[in-house]
Amino acid sequence: MKKITVIGAGGWGLALGLLLHANKNEVIFWCYSEQEKDEILQHRENKRCLPGIKIPIEIKFTSDMKEALEDTDVAIIAVPSKAIRSTVRMMKEVIKEKTIIVNVSKGIEDHSLLCLGDVIEEEVNNPVVVLSGPSHAEEVARRIPTAVTVSSKQVEKAYEIQELFMNQYFRVYTNDDLIGVELGGALKNVIALAAGIVEGMGYGDNTKAALITRGIAEMTRLGVAMGGKQSTFSGLTGIGDLVVTCTSGHSRNRRAGELVGQGLTIEEAMERVNMVVEGVPTTQAAYGLMKKYKVEMPILEAIYKVLFEKQPVKETIDVLMMRDKKDEH
């Protein structure tokens, strides 16, 4: 049995904490505020992020980072991507260097354009493992069969985390392509925003199929330009995560996009969703990477113009469809 600390008590962190508790580990959560902690303890449930999922009494909660990380073997980071660096800076004051850090958040840091694993490594000397793949918290918490991937620069740590998480409803693969794994998990949220927009505009299955297919092509081009492997993007953290995020009713990014397609601004859409929509900051960061690596990404560019330059959606789609003729591959 290992001691596991989950940093962040939102839906995804809770789902993974429940899984690790089911795997016979000691689990403690760090909450960002006393109010969040007290509400969860009062109901033994996070009614906003994971309603209907009861939390066993053995699982502990604290808002004290030192208490949360004391003698822990593995620290799972499950906070929004924009809070990764500030959270890790809090952790570094008390975490032991032997503790494995597992990042389960998906995104790209906006100002540095770094993947989140690199952000963590800039702040601490701990071994870092990334977990990614098609995995909605609502389904993992209900023990619906799910498959994900883990990756690390220290391959033995990836195997250790694979063993920690594996059970009869949560299958874990390893992949040595850390860049590809992280980028796939981040970029799929951008394409999911686009999928939601075309859904909101009333377009059909043909449009969504084209968007998903050309979306994975764009993701792959950027990933390969940054040193990732093409094969990663045909796997769980590429096409797998893209399909589930573009089509599922659980997807916040798809839902936000749908509201934009119906005429709301992105700010209004995020307020309506009332949870983190990672695809929005990721669009801005990915646009920076597109420019930096000189990669053609017309869908990403179109979403950027809709979100940040307030270009009309219908006009943007028309421009996308009427680009110069070209060969598919």
Q: Which of 274, 189, 235 is nearest to 11 (CA)?
A: 274
- In a shared domain, residues 16 and 95: yes
Instruction: Give the model confidence (pLDDT) of 112-126 as tens digits.
Output: 999 999 999 999 999
d(CA 68, CA 321) in angstroms, rounded, equals: 52
Write down the pLDDT at residue 277.
Answer: 93
Instruction: Give the model confidence (pLDDT) of 196-225 as tens digits.
Output: 999 999 998 999 999 999 999 999 999 999
Which pTM was predicted?
Answer: 0.94
Range of the domain at 197: 179-321
In a domain, 329, yes or no: no
Q: Hunting for tokens 């490594």 — which residue is that?
A: 121
- In a shared domain, residues 110 and 246: no
- List, in sequence order, every residue forming a beta bridge with 172; answer none if it has no partner: 148
Asked if pLDDT for residue 180 goes beyond 80, the answer is yes
Q: Which of 80, 74, 86 is nearest to 5 (CA)?
A: 74
Asked if pLDDT for residue 137 goes beyond 90, the answer is yes
Specify the number of domains making up the chain: 2
Q: Which of 261, 304, 298, 263 is nearest to 282 (CA)?
A: 304
The DSSP output letter for 239 is: I
- In a shared domain, residues 72 and 166: yes
Is 62:28 a contact under the CB 8 Å cutoff?
Answer: yes
pLDDT band at 318 (very low <50, low <70, confident <90, very high): confident
- In a shared domain, residues 86 and 7: yes
Write down the pLDDT at residue 320.
Answer: 79
- In a shared domain, residues 141 and 198: no
Instruction: Give the model confidence (pLDDT) of 30-52 as tens digits.
Output: 999 999 999 999 999 999 899 99
Instruction: Give the model confidence (pLDDT) of 60-85 as tens digits.
Output: 999 999 999 999 999 999 999 999 99
CA 322 to chain centre: 32
Q: Report the CATH number that the domain containing residue 185 is assigned in CATH.
A: 1.10.1040.10
Asked if pLDDT for residue 322 goes beyond 80, the answer is no
Active-site option among 157, 188, 229, 305: 188
Q: Of the candidates 148, 176, 204, which is a domain's last residue? A: 176
d(CA 118, CA 100) in angstroms, rounded, equals: 15
Write down the pLDDT at residue 326.
Answer: 74
Is 256:200 a contact under the CB 8 Å cutoff?
Answer: no
d(CA 278, CA 257) in angstroms, rounded, equals: 12
In a domain, 328, yes or no: no
Q: Report the CATH number that the domain containing residue 145 is assigned in CATH.
A: 3.40.50.720
Share of the chain above pLDDT 90, in %: 91
Q: Is 188 a catalytic residue?
A: yes
Structure token pair of residue 153: 């620069």
CA 98 to chain centre: 25
Is 278:253 a contact under the CB 8 Å cutoff?
Answer: yes
Asked if pLDDT for residue 321 goes beyond 80, the answer is no
